[in-house]
Amino acid sequence: MDEAAQALEVIRPLSQQLDIAADFQPPLFHLLLHFWQYGGHQEWWLRLVSLVAGVGSIAINMKTVERWQGKRASIFVGLLLATSSLHVFFSQELRPYMMAVFWGSLSLMSYLDLVWSQPQATQRSAFSLTGKVRLFAMINVLGALTSYVYLFWLLGLLASTWLFHRSRAWLVTRSLFVTGLVCLVWLPGLLGQLEASAALRAAVPGWEAVVSLSQIKAIPLTVAKFMVGVVTVDFNLKDGLLVFLPFASTFYFIIKDWQSKRLIANSKMITLLALFAFPLVLAWGFSFWTPVITPKRVLFLLPVLYVLFAQLWQPKLPTKTSLVFVLLLIINLVGLGRYWTDVSLQRENWRQAVSFIEQRFSPNNSVVVFGFDAPFAPWVWYQTEGLPSLNTGFSPIVSDADAATRLRSVNRYENVIVFDYLLDLSDPQKTIVKYLRSDGYDEAELLDYAQLGFVRLFHRQKLYAGQPLDTEKL
């Protein structure tokens, strides 16, 4: 549904591309896609933007690791990213999450070049130190205008620099200050989105639970999803071991590395660990006010985790570090296999659902009911036959009388198609179904589509369609 909404937004005229109050994202991805869509509206073409960002982020992180850890470690990171079902999933999705990963990967490469390079190496490089600072600022502007949660990455960079790289602290701070100033150009748009978001939360209290994780589970489940990908995980012994074992092995070698170097404060490990942990914890803390933390929104931290793992590649411990790599790769491949074969882990199958309904029902005697303020975006994107629709609104139905008011025009139709999608929010008491049954409709069929839930097909004899059904006379 989010992809279809994105597609419908980007094919609007250029003058409407900043009218995105309903989509709580910055404007850059919308603008890029708008110009991209002039090349075609096919799904593969539109999604190609995310695919390029996904493949590009793999190349960037491999280059980063190759410079600081060597060729073998870079291949290690490239394989892990390429086989992560989470990375693959969002590289195929028409949303800004993989674009944020792309900018985050560039930002990480630029940041490590700033704080890890020796002064003499900076003098020999193609870019002067001032040029690197400007490039760092430009990359982060693009990232911040792609995802609001990316701002926590910037705060993590700032905290890490002041804690562990004081000699570069003012350079990084100045660069991030410039980033913030440039991003202020979008402040009016952000305020409009905050207002729309507050209105939605007030109208539909359960919406927060849909768009974010519970605070107790947020951090462990995010880390767990980074490890196992799209596979469902929960708080149990099996899933806990699946995530704990590679982490325990990894951090065992980290400790061994620290002990051998005896330079914990200046270790590259501690820098990468801080760059992973700080943004995650900051996003989690902010979620007490406004829920933002889900694995897809902080996906730009996944490469940081893999680059951290790559630091384990020690020539002195080739066998042990190889075992960690093999374990991580096996987990990724299992998750990727599950993604390819299990439809419950794939995208919502709107195309099939809309096609089936349009083949079965005529616009003359059928209506589609949506528990939303408008027809669902995928319905608008795929439908071709012009079936009429009725929107009950997104604010919850509170009584039978309320349902009767919102559905008063339904009884002129012989067939009523009801999507259960989002009805847990807009109709938690299932009042729509109760009303249709009381109005003489029989639930003739129940369809089940992956990730969509049920589609209910109601039918009433033509004799009674268009007039109230008086059961006493019958």
- Any domain includes 194: yes
Q: Are residues 110 and 245 in the same domain?
A: yes
> CB of 105 within 8 A of CB of 60?
yes
Q: Which candidate, 449, 452, 82, places its Cα nearest to that of 302? A: 82
Phi, psi (degrees; rounded to nearest 5) at 389: -135, 160
Q: In the prediction, which pLDDT does 262 show?
A: 47
Q: In the prediction, which pLDDT does 474 show?
A: 34
Q: Kindly state the average pLDDT of the residues 383-398.
A: 87
Taking the alpha carbons at both ends of the chain, their separation in whole angstroms is 43
Is residue 107 over pLDDT 60?
yes
What residue has token string 């005896």? Answer: 262
Q: pLDDT tens digits, residue range 290-299? A: 778 889 999 9
- Any domain includes 465: no
- Any domain includes 97: yes
Question: Which of 314, 345, 376 lies at the terminal end of a domain, its last residue?
Answer: 345
Question: Which of 345, 380, 404 lies at the terminal end of a domain, its last residue?
Answer: 345
Q: Are residues 187 and 64 in the same domain?
A: yes
Q: In the prediction, which pLDDT does 212 show?
A: 66
> CB of 5 within 8 A of CB of 374?
no
Q: Are residues 145 and 67 in the same domain?
A: yes
Average pLDDT, the chain: 85
| Integer Cα distance of 116 and 96 in angstroms | 30
Residue 193 DSSP symbol: H
More confident residue, 214 or 433: 433
Count of structural domains within the chain: 2
**Confidence band of 472 (pLDDT split at 50, 70, 90):** very low
Q: In the prediction, which pLDDT does 131 show?
A: 84
Q: In the prediction, which pLDDT does 210 show?
A: 64
Q: Are residues 128 and 172 in the same domain?
A: yes
Q: Which domain holds residue 79?
A: 2-345
Q: Are residues 218 and 367 in the same domain?
A: no
- Any domain includes 58: yes
- Any domain includes 388: yes
**Confidence band of 373 (pLDDT split at 50, 70, 90):** confident
Of these ranges, 158-167, 196-205, 217-226, the one predicted with the greatest mean pLDDT is 158-167
Q: Kindly state the average pLDDT of the residues 445-466.
A: 80
Q: Are residues 45 and 83 in the same domain?
A: yes
Is residue 80 over pLDDT 50?
yes
The order of strands in the sheet holding 366-370 is 389-391, 366-370, 415-419, 453-459, 442-449
Q: In the prediction, which pLDDT does 429 show?
A: 86
Q: pLDDT tens digits, residue range 209-236? A: 666 677 788 888 888 889 888 888 776 6
Partners of 456 in beta bridges? 418, 446
Q: pLDDT tens digits, residue range 380-389? A: 999 988 899 9
Is residue 95 over pLDDT 50?
yes
More confident residue, 421 or 245: 421
More confident residue, 83 or 244: 83
Q: pLDDT tens digits, residue range 9-25? A: 999 999 888 888 878 88
What residue has token string 């008063």? Answer: 408
**Confidence band of 128 (pLDDT split at 50, 70, 90):** confident
Q: Kindly state the average pLDDT of the residues 363-372.
A: 91
Q: Are residues 375 and 286 in the same domain?
A: no
- Any domain includes 471: no
- Any domain includes 52: yes
Q: In the prediction, which pLDDT does 427 show?
A: 87
Q: In the prediction, which pLDDT does 261 show?
A: 54
**Confidence band of 473 (pLDDT split at 50, 70, 90):** very low
Q: Are residues 400 and 330 in the same domain?
A: no
Q: In the prediction, which pLDDT does 248 show?
A: 67
| Integer Cα distance of 195 and 205 in angstroms | 15
Is residue 306 over pLDDT 90?
yes
Q: Which candidate, 372, 347, 384, 470, places its Cα nearest to that of 426? A: 372
Is residue 117 over pLDDT 90?
no
Q: Are residues 249 and 378 in the same domain?
A: no
Q: In the prediction, which pLDDT does 74 show?
A: 92
What CA–CA distances, in Å, run from 409 to 78, 431, 458, 466, 467? 57, 16, 15, 9, 10
- Any domain includes 466: no
What residue has token string 């992180």? Answer: 61
Alpha helices in 165-301 (DSSP H): 169-183, 187-203, 207-211, 215-228, 237-261, 268-286
Secondary structure string (H, E, C) spanning 122-164: HHHCCCCHHHHHHHHHHHHHHHHCCCCCHHHHHHHHHHHHHHH
What residue has token string 């931290």? Answer: 301
Q: Are residues 251 and 207 in the same domain?
A: yes
Is residue 69 over pLDDT 50?
yes
pTM of this prediction? 0.88
Q: Is beta strand 366-370 parallel, antiparallel or unpaired with respect to 415-419?
A: parallel
Is residue 470 over pLDDT 50?
no
Q: Are residues 169 and 213 in the same domain?
A: yes
What residue has token string 């991003």? Answer: 183
**Confidence band of 82 (pLDDT split at 50, 70, 90):** very high
Question: Which of 330, 345, 360 lies at the terminal end of a domain, its last residue?
Answer: 345
Residue 342 DSSP symbol: -
What lies within 8 Å, CB to CB, of 297 at 6+ separation is 97, 147, 149, 283
Q: Which candidate, 17, 275, 71, 45, places its Cα nearest to that of 161? A: 275
Q: How many CA atoms lie within 13 A of 65 on its CB side?
A: 31
Q: Are residues 380 and 325 in the same domain?
A: no
